[in-house]
Structure 1
Amino acid sequence: MTMADVSGNFAELTLRLTRLGLTAPDLGSAMQPVLDALLSGAGAQVAGYYQWWAQDQVYRVRAESGTRPSTLPLRGLAPGLPLVQALHGSAEPLFIPDVRAHPAARSFAWPGLHAMIAAPVHDREGTLIGALLLLGFTPQPWPAGAPALVRSVTGLIALLAARLDAEERERAAHEHALRALGLCLEARSAETHGHTDRVTRLATQLGQALHLSDADLCALRWGAYLHDIGKLSLPDEILHCPGPLTDEMRGRMRRHVDEGVNLARQLPFLPGEALNVVAAHHERWDGTGYPRGVGGEAIPLTARIFAVCDVFDALTSSRSYKAAWRADEALSFIQAASGTHFDPRVVRALTGVLGRAQA
């Protein structure tokens, strides 16, 4: 590839990255095209972007391109690494032709790794929020044009990463707030302690088994936190009724779904798929559920997933009116209701998830 070819590719890449900066839904999908292009333009064999992950206190890989040998166990960067410390105080990328000879890169002297480009990504306050790493497995120096190419996109990467990092922080704040609301609802409804977290965790595992996108998994979690928000409007004599509900009380109970949807709609950041969980988790596969009486695949998949998890957790939890069932008893009940109450595909996936958990 000539330098003219490389310059043309990066002019196109700059335009593409600018568009991604305005439209990309997440950091990983935004970074992937730039990493792919950097591999060919800079002569690297592996390119990776590492973003600060406060929960784990590590710079975690968010996107990667190329083939990483098994001798390179690089999945995250600890903040105490000399390379990370060097990037903290650097406004420019580090171009390292020999990792064994550079004081900041000696800890990366793994078999086969010779050269490295490490570019810092800072936010507006100068905090290191990410690092772009290009790795080379040949002993020759980086190509002459590599520094200019990396510098040409690092600024755009920084802007993109800062924007998406801020959005991810906002989503995390929303998630924490919704979980707190779910825990309040759990306490008010006299649910077994831990119900919200258990059912959300199981729904997430089931959603992953069914290959939901990251956006749908997020919506599934948020809908799980809010699934019973409509019960805020129920009087205590219905919510805490010790015996069977009368027909009138049962009708009032069922209205909590529509009331929940109306309340959840007041949260402007809540995605429609999360509202679907609130609106349809009491629908049944055979169309005999409520509040709409829809059935089959007309019920949103996120709601079908959550419905199975909600019933499983209710059965395996002790309540004032019943003892907790064993997990195998609850699963047998759900399997028996496959095709009537529950989506058969979701039941099969739940069986697999629970089987792996017990293995």
Structure 2
Amino acid sequence: MTGGEANRALQRFGVLPKPALQAQAVVLLAQSAQDVFQRCVELALSITRASSSLITLYRPEEDLLELVAAAGRHSEQALGRRLPRGQGLAWRVVDSGEPLLLERADSAPEAVYVSGRRHPAMYLGVPILDPDGALLGVLSADTSDSPERLGPDDAQAMLLLGQAAGVAYTRWRALDVAQRSARQFERLAQLSAELEGQTQPEPIVRCALRALLELSGFTAAGVVTVDRQGQARLSVLEGDADTQARVEDVLAEPHHPSGLIGLVLGSGRPQVVPDYQNWPGRRPDVTRVRSALGVPLRRAGQTVGVVFLLHMQRPAEIPRDLQTLLETVSARIEQALERSAHLEHLEQTREAALRALGRVLESRDGETFGHTDRVTRAALALGQALGLNETQLQQLRWGAYLHDLGKVGVGDHLLRKPGPLSPEERQAIERHVVLGDQMLRDETFVPREVREIVRSHHERWDGGGYPDGLCGEQIPLLARIFSVVDVYDALISERPYKRAWTPDAARAWLREAAGTQFDPQIVATFLRLLAESPGAQP
């Protein structure tokens, strides 16, 4: 007796056939899209009493069938198999859109046996359609290794199951898309906030790539940029260590763009490759990538690189919204990089203005031309030797530019006086450090540490300096560093009131002043640097 005959026997006793109820259960009880399919094959197996039941989904972007659910004999071997066109009886159902019932499946050359052993068996396959009638896949059953027979009533029951599966799967897929869109929207909003807090290009890109990996489920995300000679190079990559090593082996060195990268750069359009290893444009040396997609990265309207996603484990389904996500994140990167470039330009402009101001001040003071640039270079070299970080080095540089800003309030007759100063004149000149600090106090872009250099670079280690009589480590570190290089350059330079000292005499004087005028550790480090670069400042 077939499954259909059993149902008719139940009807004679007034019992509603199970297939209709069970088909409704597929719709009502499934907890996910995958659960829909698993319930469906298990019910199909129960109703038809076949040997095995399978669901294959049609992947139109790759034109292949993927086995996504199985029940019965050899079910574990079946899951995940991908059947190109011409392999498997399900292709007949796909092409016709109609149920297929074969008495002898083994006589069909395209029949695929999961067990690997071809033998007589019946085959029944029915289309799974969405509510609009579009084909999603095929639900099938077979009697391999079983005396059970399949008939028209089994086909009717399977059609009911296929219809229910199509409705339920479409519902769950729509829910998945909605939930994914909500997660993407929330994560993109978070990403926008994170990017606002970044000013350097690499952290901007890494932040965006990590968000892409979170949202896509892919294995690796990266950015390739192109130089003026048209050579492509991997700029930033996010992913696990093994994946990074494999991708870097291929993309790290400058190369002529080819494969997916070359196609995106050449066309200026997004490119999606669900099955990279079977893609005609693949690079022969890229053997581990299974799926890939890339979108152009633009700056000022020009394509300057590619943002890409890679899947290394298996060919992945790439929904349209994933491409949209990648384009959106690429646009976020572009905006953040544009802002970063603008900020960098402003920073360079401000830096140039501060340096120019320092050089104007040195010309008023009768200092040897180049004093500002020399003390800036020497201070930065000394700061690096003492382990300062990038922020401290920038503050030291700005302090070098502005250290004598307060001298704009001191008359030229005092600054250029060739003879000794009276106590009143010296007091007037010493006020320049306080005046400089006051002038910068209302400039919010000037850090406190810069003002400390301006105010305290004439303090002494023994407390005998000005304006506040600070001693030892009460004197801010950057001011202690700068005071050493400032005095050294003043000693070896000619001024209106003195001749230039020899470098040896200036170094000997620094040794004597260590521990009284200067921080002894800083003097020792500076003298070591001078010894390592004889005849020149650090």
Per the alignment, residue 242 of structure 1 pairs with 418
Query: Which of 146, 155, 159 is matched with 2:335 structurally?
Result: 159
Question: Does structure 1 conserve the Cα–Cα contact (< 8 Å) formed by 2:396 and 2:478?
Answer: yes
Mapped partners of 2:306, 2:522: distance in 1 = 39
TM-score by length of 2: 0.51
Mapped partners of 1:60, 1:290: distance in 2 = 54
Mapped partners of 1:265, 1:33: distance in 2 = 35
Unaligned runs of 5+ in 2: 1-175
Query: Which of 90, 95, 99 is matched with 2:268 structurally?
Result: 90
Query: Which of 224, 231, 236 is matched with 2:407 structurally?
Result: 231
Per the alignment, residue 20 of structure 1 pairs with 194
Per the alignment, residue 178 of structure 1 pairs with 354
1:264 CA drift (Å):
2.6
3-state DSSP class of the match of 1:323? coil
Question: Does structure 2 conserve the Cα–Cα contact (< 8 Å) formed by 1:93 and 1:151?
Answer: no
Mapped partners of 2:354, 2:364: distance in 1 = 15
Question: Does structure 1 conserve the Cα–Cα contact (< 8 Å) formed by 2:218 and 2:309?
Answer: no
Query: Which of 301, 322, 332 is matched with 1:126 structurally?
Result: 301
Task: Say which is worse superposed, 298-307 or 195-204, in terms of deviation.
Answer: 298-307
Question: Does structure 1 conserve the Cα–Cα contact (< 8 Å) formed by 2:232 and 2:257?
Answer: no
Q: Deviations over 1:221-271 (max 9, x none)?
A: 112111101111111221001022111111111001111122233544222
- Kindly tell me the number of residue pairs found equivalent between the two proteins: 339
Distance 1:7 1:252, change over 3 A: same
Question: Does structure 1 conserve the Cα–Cα contact (< 8 Å) formed by 2:307 and 2:330?
Answer: no
1:73 CA drift (Å):
10
Question: Does structure 1 conserve the Cα–Cα contact (< 8 Å) formed by 2:225 and 2:234?
Answer: yes
Query: Which of 473, 478, 484 is matched with 1:308 structurally?
Result: 484
Mapped partners of 1:330, 1:30: distance in 2 = 47
Query: Which of 325, 331, 336 is matched with 2:502 structurally?
Result: 325
Mapped partners of 1:331, 1:28: distance in 2 = 42
Mapped partners of 2:360, 2:367: distance in 1 = 10
Query: Which of 392, 395, 398 is matched with 1:216 structurally?
Result: 392
Question: Does structure 1 conserve the Cα–Cα contact (< 8 Å) formed by 2:480 and 2:519?
Answer: yes
Mapped partners of 1:352, 1:184: distance in 2 = 31
Distance 1:329 1:68, change over 3 A: farther
Mapped partners of 2:416, 2:361: distance in 1 = 13
1:26 CA drift (Å):
3.4
1:350 CA drift (Å):
2.4
1:64 CA drift (Å):
6.8
Question: Does structure 2 conserve the Cα–Cα contact (< 8 Å) formed by 1:260 and 1:279?
Answer: yes
Q: Deviations over 1:314-357 (max 9, x none)?
A: 2232334112422x443343233233222233334324443444
3-state DSSP class of the match of 1:204? helix
3-state DSSP class of the match of 2:335? helix
Q: Give runs of aligned pairs for residues 1-359 of structure 1, distance below 5 A.
A: 14-35=188-209, 42-44=218-220, 47=222, 87=265, 90=268, 92=270, 120-123=296-299, 125-127=300-302, 131=305, 150-320=326-496, 321-326=498-503, 328-358=504-534
1:186 CA drift (Å):
1.3
Distance 1:330 1:25, change over 3 A: farther
1:176 CA drift (Å):
0.8
Q: Deviations over 1:10-52 (max 9, x none)?
A: 87864553222222353344444445666896534x9568699
Distance 1:10 1:52, change over 3 A: farther
Q: Percent identity?
A: 35
Question: Does structure 1 conserve the Cα–Cα contact (< 8 Å) formed by 2:272 and 2:293?
Answer: yes
Task: Say which is worse superposed, 165-174 or 215-224, in terms of deviation.
Answer: 215-224
Distance 1:9 1:254, change over 3 A: farther
Task: Say which is worse superposed, 167-176 or 270-279, in terms of deviation.
Answer: 270-279
Question: Root-mean-square deviation (CA), in Å?
Answer: 4.7
Mapped partners of 1:62, 1:298: distance in 2 = 44
Paired residue type of 1:126: G
Task: Say which is worse superposed, 345-354 or 113-122, in terms of deviation.
Answer: 113-122
Mapped partners of 2:529, 2:315: distance in 1 = 47
Distance 1:155 1:316, change over 3 A: same
Q: Deviations over 1:255-314 (max 9, x none)?
A: 011111222335442222222221111122222221111223332222222112212222
Distance 1:329 1:219, change over 3 A: same
Q: Deviations over 1:100-148 (max 9, x none)?
A: x989xx9xx9x9999898765434x4256x6466799x9x999666867
1:213 CA drift (Å):
2.9
Structure label with greater radius of gyration: 2
1:194 CA drift (Å):
0.9
Mapped partners of 1:314, 1:211: distance in 2 = 25
Mapped partners of 1:246, 1:51: distance in 2 = 65
Task: Say which is worse superposed, 233-242 or 268-277, in terms of deviation.
Answer: 268-277
Distance 1:355 1:20, change over 3 A: farther
3-state DSSP class of the match of 1:122? strand
Mapped partners of 1:261, 1:52: distance in 2 = 45
Paired residue type of 2:197: T
3-state DSSP class of the match of 1:286? coil
